[in-house]
Amino acid sequence: MTDAILRGAARARRRPLVAGALSLLVPGLGQLYNGEPAKAVVFALLRALPGLVAAAAAVSDNAPSHLRVWSLAVGGCVAVWLAAPAEAAWASLRRRDFTPGAVNRAAVYVLAGALGTALFVGSIAALGSVFALERAGTDDMRPTIDRTSLLLVRRRAAVSAGDVVLARAESGRFLARVIASDGRRVTVRDGRLSVGGFELPVGVYSAEELARAGLANRAELFFETNGMREYPILLPAHDRRRAGMRWEPVAGAPPNAITLAFDDRTRGRVCFMVPRDALVGRVEGIVRGPSLRRSLALPWAERAAPTR
């Protein structure tokens, strides 16, 4: 029996459906089935890389928009998961006949699948150590966030005026807006807020701004500016804020205290203080809101600091 006959007897037919199913199970397995271990390694790394990069960017705080980085990471993982079986099935279809090699063994498939899964789980764990998905659960932060909103929270992030934060209390976790920190003096009069002796600028949105933000106009809807953040708030309809309102000085908050407020100020107290260690994290964005325009949106708009 000649070598040619022996080689012919060892040849087999690749099955595109098998290749696609293997890579759908674990990206890279279908490429391994096709006898392309280098491609298998590339797809396994590509699936894990976005999560690791997003986690590293969040830790270093270098990302301009953590919501965008997180969204790209999730989108990248999904894209690789869809591309891997398509590529494996197409490559198998183009080269149906092959001679099984050392990589085409059940033990190799099991080992490669376990390593690829461990790498992916590690990247998800790294991402989960920095970010969390939280449901709002209440309407205290209307109109920016309603009770059905799914939010992206960055754990243990530094916060500043205008940020939305997730905090904990004896009754459970809650969402609120940072008004001031580090002992800055806050004054409240008839729902009006002054920080350090300056009333926070308030105005009314134009129809175009409301359309871009995906918000419905209403008598109680205003916007407030705090530092570099502008955000919509709800106030009693008769509370048309006037320029030059007087403020009354009050005692400064403790150095480690954060002053918070709800965006819906028609529902009860205006602001309150919590210790800094009560903060769980900063809300980086709305992953899924009540409408398409309110999804993948920031809970504030960047604005120039008000002149004082």
pLDDT digits (tens, 9 = 90+) for 146-179: 999 999 999 988 898 999 999 998 888 999 999 9
pLDDT digits (tens, 9 = 90+) for 87-101: 999 998 887 776 677
Give the lowest-confidence range in 3-17, 69-83, 199-213, 260-274: 3-17
Two tokens at 302? Answer: 């960047």
Question: What does the buried/exposed string (b/e) look like for 103-137 if buried means 16 or more CB atoms within 10 Å of the residue's CB?
Answer: bbeeebbeebbeebeebbeebeebbeebbeebebe
> How many angstroms separate the CA atoms of 130 and 156, rounded?
8
Assess contact for 235 and 265: CB atoms under 8 A: yes
Rounded percentage of the chain residues whose pLDDT exceeds 90? 47
Which of the two residues, 60 and 176, has the higher pLDDT score?
176
CA 76, distance to chain mean position in Å, is: 14
Give the lowest-confidence range in 19-23, 219-223, 250-254, 265-269: 250-254
In the predicted structure, residue 1 carries a pLDDT above the cut 50: no
- The pLDDT, as a whole number, for residue 99 is 67
Give the lowest-confidence range in 103-112, 133-142, 197-206, 253-262: 253-262
Two tokens at 80? Answer: 């690789």
- The pLDDT, as a whole number, for residue 235 is 87
**Cα–Cα nearest to 103, from 31, 48, 42:** 31
What is the dotted CATH code of the domain comprising 136-302? 2.10.109.10
Question: In the structure, what pLDDT confidence band is assigned to residue 55 with cuts at 50, 70 and 90?
Answer: confident
> How many angstroms separate the CA atoms of 12 and 235, rounded?
73
Strand order in the sheet with 131-135: 131-135, 150-155, 279-288, 164-169, 172-181, 257-261, 271-275
Question: In the structure, what pLDDT confidence band is assigned to residue 253 with cuts at 50, 70 and 90?
Answer: low
Assess contact for 162 and 226: CB atoms under 8 A: yes
Assess contact for 51 and 124: CB atoms under 8 A: yes
Question: In the structure, what pLDDT confidence band is assigned to residue 186 with cuts at 50, 70 and 90?
Answer: confident
Two tokens at 216? Answer: 């419905």
- The pLDDT, as a whole number, for residue 246 is 36
Assess contact for 224 and 201: CB atoms under 8 A: yes
Give the lowest-confidence range in 151-155, 191-195, 258-262, 274-278: 191-195
> How many angstroms separate the CA atoms of 82 and 123, rounded?
18
Q: Where are the domains of the chain?
A: 3-131, 136-302
Question: In the structure, what pLDDT confidence band is assigned to residue 191 with cuts at 50, 70 and 90?
Answer: low
Which of the two residues, 188 and 210, has the higher pLDDT score?
210
Question: In the structure, what pLDDT confidence band is assigned to residue 290 with cuts at 50, 70 and 90?
Answer: confident
Q: What is the pTM of this model?
A: 0.82
